[in-house]
Amino acid sequence: MSEAAASAKHPGGDIRRIGIIGAGQMGRGIAHVCALAGLDVVLSDANAAALAQARDTIGSNLSRQVARGRIKEEDKTAALGRITIGGAV
């Protein structure tokens, strides 16, 4: 687990999974960063099209990071595997 994820603590213990309601620009950005940090993410939205677009956008942004040498391909694959797309909220 990354240092950022390891240091994410609250009074009840370590944070390992987060839920995000809303798959717009902010929600998908939060999901991207948290998944890269090693957290499991559940991304939900009432609009199925927004969820599909969020998944595609996160994948594209991660691919761009790989192309620029900021992350490795296996980091991208692992981050995408940590994101679960939920249904309507």
Position 38 scores a pLDDT of: 95
Position 11 scores a pLDDT of: 62
Position 3 scores a pLDDT of: 52
14 token code pair: 């370590």
CA dihedral 28, 30, 33, 35 (to 10 degrees): -70
Position 1 scores a pLDDT of: 46
Q: Which residues fall within 8 angstroms of residue 10, CB to CB, at 6 or more apart? A: none
The CATH class for the domain spanning 16-85 reads alpha beta
Taking the chain (89 residues) in consecutive chunks of 10 residues, what is each chunk's mean pLDDT?
Answer: 52 84 97 97 95 96 98 98 84
Instruction: Return the domain boundaries, the chain.
Output: 16-85
Check: pTM over 0.85? Answer yes or no.
no
Q: CA 8 to CA 76: how far, in whole Å?
A: 21
